[in-house]
Structure 1
Amino acid sequence: MRRPLAACAALCFALLAAGCSGDPDESAPAAGAPTAPAAVDPAVAASADAALSADTKAICDQAARTSTSFGTTFAADYKLLTDAASKDAGARAQAQEKAARDVESFSYALLDMSKLASDPALKKALGTMGAQVTALKGDLRKIDDAKLAELHATLDAACGKS
């Protein structure tokens, strides 16, 4: 039990540290304010993607925010899995499905950012992280804190952080 807890602590620290350098999202709606989904013109989206692909700082900032968000989600999922271990099979299955979806979403986001990035080092770092997260297949017990720290160091280097 100590190994998974140590890995959880290391992961949360690494992910939160990676996200601490980004500015808070000032464009977020006020608490309780309703938001309506906007229709997206594919031509506008393609143009925005093309402009963003050359903006390494923006992609690095988004990767940091995504990693921070996943760190928070990971900690909650880990607690959910731990709590569900003493419950029935249905509760355990639900907890595992949620963790798997969250890991898959994080992996998708990293791989999507890697496809968007034009900077080769950033593209490689994000792609490597995405592949490593994909390999977890939702099993949070497979996290290797040393490898994760190495991946984050690669991302930090690609983003010009030391």
Structure 2
Amino acid sequence: MRRLRLTAVSGALVLLGAGCSSGPDVTTPPAGTPAVAPAAPSTGPGGPAPAAGATPSRAAAGDAALKGNSAAICDQATTTGAHAGATFAQDLKLLIDAESGQDSAAVSQARAKTTRDVQNYAYALADMGKLASEPDLKKALTTMSKQVGALKGDVRKLDATKLAALQTTLDKACGKG
């Protein structure tokens, strides 16, 4: 039963990163960019801590490169989504393996990692939404961020239909659909 669930969720995760086939290569992360972390995480009160290795000057440079550049934001969203999908699939397998082994410490670590990865992706989407100048793109990224954040770190809550609808909305906002 768990294998069937893993297969179904893995299929949903593939949809998460699915976009235009002419998009950027998602087999390797962009140089100097964490796989899922945003280019410039929010550091305001109550906001997430900056990603490891992200310095304010690098983050500001990333913001400057993306701000108002819809094509670059769309490319970044596609790449980030693909990496998040792959990460979520790995997280799900890690969680299932830890639960199967009945090791409470491993389960706790797997849950913490999954929660962190889901939060990172939600923050990345929100940050890209803040940089977008086109209303449809801003709305698509903000909606996706809220939907991913609603998972509360549980990748088992992923719904293939909902993910496909969000990806379609993003593709349309990016002029790909």
Taking structure 1 as the reference length, the TM-score comes to 0.82
How has the CA–CA distance of structure 1 residues 38 and 143 changed in structure 2, closer, same or farther, with 3 Å as cutoff? closer
Aligned position for 1:135: 150
**Identity over the aligned pairs, expressed in percent?**
53
Higher helix share: 1
Aligned position for 1:116: 131
Aligned position for 1:66: 80
| Aligned counterparts of 1:95 and 1:19: Cα–Cα separation in 2 | 32
RMSD value, Cα: 2.6
Secondary structure at the counterpart of residue 8 of structure 1: helix
How has the CA–CA distance of structure 1 residues 54 and 6 changed in structure 2, closer, same or farther, with 3 Å as cutoff? same
Q: Which runs of 5+ in 2 are unaligned?
A: 33-52
Shift of 1:23: 2.9
1:55-95: CA deviations, max 9, x gaps? 10000000001001101101111110111012211111111
Q: How many aligned residue pairs are there?
A: 152
Secondary structure at the counterpart of residue 136 of structure 1: coil
How has the CA–CA distance of structure 1 residues 21 and 92 changed in structure 2, closer, same or farther, with 3 Å as cutoff? same
Instruction: Judge which range, 79-88 or 96-105, deviates more.
Output: 79-88
Shift of 1:21: 3.0
Contact 1:19 1:65 (C-alpha < 8 Å) held by counterparts: no
Taking structure 2 as the reference length, the TM-score comes to 0.75
| Aligned counterparts of 1:21 and 1:116: Cα–Cα separation in 2 | 23
Contact 2:18 2:167 (C-alpha < 8 Å) held by counterparts: no
Greater C-alpha radius of gyration = 1
Which residue of the other structure, out of 12, 37, 40, is the alignment partner of 1:10? 12
Contact 1:114 1:122 (C-alpha < 8 Å) held by counterparts: yes
Aligned position for 1:28: 31
1:10-64: CA deviations, max 9, x gaps? 222x1332274323489737xxxxxxx696549x937x63563221000000000
How has the CA–CA distance of structure 1 residues 106 and 160 changed in structure 2, closer, same or farther, with 3 Å as cutoff? same
Secondary structure at the counterpart of residue 83 of structure 1: helix
Aligned position for 2:96: 82
Q: Which runs of 5+ in 1 are unaligned?
A: 30-36
